[in-house]
Structure 1
């Protein structure tokens, strides 16, 4: 039989390569961004390609209207004032889409070298809240950033990105013969059971020396590193008809992709329409998965500083800054739990979420999500404008709820805030699942959040209604959200 003749019953998959532009774009960004530092660099690269100018926090920012992007570690923010007239008020509010660049994984320890019974291992530490079993028996690469001695820069240290897309690590699972109860409930001790192997030759260099050789620098010049593992399986379609998308780091590179495209599309739409009474802004934070309380996390000065500096570069003062915040809308965008078909009882029965069913509004009365009525209304209007359906997620009343950058962004800025996302399964697994049409709908909704039609949200703040009593009490809105 000729080698190119299919075996009887064989049929090639009919949909490989048939993903739409947004699903393909998401796959490309995910595969280009194995670490948050690579994600921030890739988002910046795409924005610069779209006409944004990168600025540094240490420099004076341009006072001229334009499109700008700034990075802080694994975080990135971008905005456009190019559409604003010279006499536009310095108190012009913002429309913000916020997300994060980091994902749960295994990170290399500062002193990782370990040898046991002839096996060469690297000690790791768990980052965030991953599904630990999903990291077993996977071919793993390495990525992150390295601080290198550099006499040519003021501080004497430069940052280098490192990425190894080769199977250099693996966490081997114990054979079923040695743990007959493994299928009854696998218990993994992060200290003892998650140490990956990377050789058995007995000749492994120290990880420090290996990094130095990789970067072609002297061993003594590697002064620090933040390096992590990543799954090497490429992102791509899944399912009989290719209507699903399987990929690592969907939480939350799904938003990093959608937010980046939405900003570019929104800026183009605003400029084509002759302007808007608000400033569109994207911010993607690092360290959301570990609580955000870091120098570049959602609970840091990054977003407040960017917002204030934009106002100041436009000739505003503290009063203008506070007025701008009072009229601002923050859309905290993260991925959302689709209803799992094998565990439907763990989901709130009146709030079923499906992949392919549209973007998700997330609500929690305990403040784990920041959505309030005005913010929820703004997102509903954005989905209506985008022509996409909207779903509403609420966790079961007898189960705890996750959280996002939304509550802390709301507290730091005082802006109307809403938590939203795109539906997915296997959240925090080494490999996650969403619908192939969800990225496009997510982009459309976030674009409408940044470039709304109709009355601008930047109009004058609504005046308080006269006090009223009785059953017809009305709460005055903070401002127009249409």
Structure 2
């Protein structure tokens, strides 16, 4: 998946796609396009729903998500460029870059693009609520039960995580035969390795809660009354020896086809291993894990691939999808939105020999670019829960299989302003899309997203919107079966039409 800049530029200039050699998963084929007279037929929406279900099953951790999207982009002719190399010789083309294995930016730069044309950006987050192994995950056995020390990421380990089949996976840092440390993905799918058992109601008050997440939400990963097999001398020399259960070290090493002593460090997580499904009497729903917010990310990447790439390459446009880590905990990391990956990509393109041949003042060119830029901050929003209809604001009750939902908040939790709202409404009309609206009631608290942060960092007009879902922050959630494809359609329309539409907005 990862290639040198020179190779990337040659491949893009030739209009060809280079093959992947470092990806740990086979690259997914592009979503099939319906052969019916209308592209946006039932077959189109079914195909995207099916691919999304497979994607989230094959990509249980953020590292798998980035790997999956990288492979998909390369199949579509995008070439990888490393942040650690010079971008001076970048030319018009289709590219993507990765930071930390957990953030990704994909973009198409047209041959006639200038800073005054701005950038059309869709930003989303690909971190999801999960459970992370502690730096030392060893715990004493309890009457033969093997336990695992874990920490909640963004509010997990509550009762919705109990009695679920939990797999383990993530990224290993492995020392190869040459002594280099390289990343390697691992995933126990389809085998769950952990369960957090509830206490039966027969025990009375202790079964009611509240529960202590440190002492009562501990995953059970095995049971044995026998003495464990003694570690070998080589295992004792392993960097992680003594920091994690020996049985787990051996299990992960076997999954990765490496020796325990080869593993330098890891970032492993527990997650719901059950595959998503289409449900409802007419299969109008998708029930799946990790919807927030891989569903908007999935739609954004697919839209950049599906939109007329040849037209964008020959145009004066700059189209970018940025997918970020750590939104659920405030985004204040190098791989989060506050780490500046979006700004870095744009600055390096502006500074390149092709797009700045006369060495204009780069800072002035950056300011000019952002003044003409539109950003869609794409994050899931709330579907109406029919069992709690009274907690929703009247006239702001999104329903499934209808369309993308605009997020509004007068107190700055969302970045949408009246001009942005008018622009999106016009884009939706041009593209034949239906929009929905969500604002929280005065007696409830609003959530947050990346929109206000990226708006503050760049000064670009930002609009918060997204695909609506039920059961936000649960271990499994629900979207409409059509909603995934409707998101792809809307985002593709944005890339096609935003610039010419925004040109009619004078000094706004």
TM-score, shorter chain, exceeding 0.5: yes
Of 69, 72, 77, 2:99 maps to 72
- Alpha-carbon distance between aligned partners in 2 of 1:69 and 1:18, rounded to the nearest angstrom: 26
Of 231, 249, 252, 2:293 maps to 252
Question: Is the Cα contact below 8 Å between 1:276 and 1:456 reproduced in 2?
Answer: no
Of 220, 234, 252, 2:261 maps to 220
CA-CA distance at 1:210 after TM superposition? 3.6
Q: Does 1:304 align with 2:304?
A: no
Question: Is the Cα contact below 8 Å between 2:427 and 2:501 reproduced in 1?
Answer: no
- Alpha-carbon distance between aligned partners in 2 of 1:415 and 1:18, rounded to the nearest angstrom: 33
Relative to 1, partners in 2 of residues 1:131 and 1:223: Cα closer, same or farther, differing over 3 Å? Answer: closer
Of 409, 412, 421, 1:364 maps to 409
Residue in structure 2 matched with residue 142 of structure 1 by the alignment? 168
- Alpha-carbon distance between aligned partners in 2 of 1:414 and 1:113, rounded to the nearest angstrom: 47
CA-CA distance at 1:354 after TM superposition? 0.9
- Alpha-carbon distance between aligned partners in 2 of 1:48 and 1:397, rounded to the nearest angstrom: 46
Of 368, 381, 384, 1:323 maps to 368
- Alpha-carbon distance between aligned partners in 1 of 2:157 and 2:278, rounded to the nearest angstrom: 22
Relative to 1, partners in 2 of residues 1:122 and 1:454: Cα closer, same or farther, differing over 3 Å? Answer: closer
Residue in structure 1 matched with residue 476 of structure 2 by the alignment? 431
Matches within 5 A, 1:4-403: 20-61=46-87, 62-73=89-100, 74-81=102-109, 83-85=110-112, 88-114=113-139, 115-130=141-156, 132-150=158-176, 152=178, 156-165=180-189, 166-179=191-204, 182=207, 186-202=209-225, 203=228, 205-268=246-309, 270-271=311-312, 275-313=314-352, 314-315=355-356, 317-403=362-448
CA-CA distance at 1:275 after TM superposition? 4.3
- Alpha-carbon distance between aligned partners in 2 of 1:92 and 1:312, rounded to the nearest angstrom: 16
Matches within 5 A, 1:466-477: 477=507
> Can you list the C-alpha shifts for 1:305-360, whole angstroms capped at 9, x where unaligned?
11111211222622112101110001000111111111112211231111122110
| SS of residue matched to 1:227 | strand
- Alpha-carbon distance between aligned partners in 2 of 1:328 and 1:80, rounded to the nearest angstrom: 15
CA-CA distance at 1:299 after TM superposition? 1.1
Relative to 1, partners in 2 of residues 1:376 and 1:453: Cα closer, same or farther, differing over 3 Å? Answer: closer
CA-CA distance at 1:157 after TM superposition? 2.2
Relative to 1, partners in 2 of residues 1:18 and 1:378: Cα closer, same or farther, differing over 3 Å? Answer: closer
Give the unaligned 5+ runs of structure 1. Answer: 1-16, 463-476
- Alpha-carbon distance between aligned partners in 2 of 1:406 and 1:91, rounded to the nearest angstrom: 22
Q: Does 1:452 align with 2:489?
A: no
Greater share of residues in helix: 2
Residue in structure 1 matched with residue 239 of structure 2 by the alignment? none
Residue in structure 1 matched with residue 17 of structure 2 by the alignment? none
Q: Indicate the larger mover: 339-348 or 325-334.
A: 339-348
| SS of residue matched to 1:144 | strand
Q: Indicate the larger mover: 311-320 or 330-339.
A: 311-320
TM-score if structure 1 supplies the norm length?
0.86
Relative to 1, partners in 2 of residues 1:240 and 1:456: Cα closer, same or farther, differing over 3 Å? Answer: closer
- Alpha-carbon distance between aligned partners in 1 of 2:133 and 2:345, rounded to the nearest angstrom: 32
Question: Is the Cα contact below 8 Å between 1:96 and 1:283 reproduced in 2?
Answer: yes
Aligned pair count? Answer: 438
Q: Indicate the larger mover: 417-426 or 21-30.
A: 21-30
Q: Indicate the larger mover: 89-98 or 71-80.
A: 89-98
CA-CA distance at 1:270 after TM superposition? 3.3
| SS of residue matched to 2:117 | coil
CA-CA distance at 1:443 after TM superposition? 1.0
Superposition CA RMSD, Å: 2.2
> Can you list the C-alpha shifts for 1:334-391, whole angstroms capped at 9, x where unaligned?
1111111111122112311111221100001111111111222222122212212101
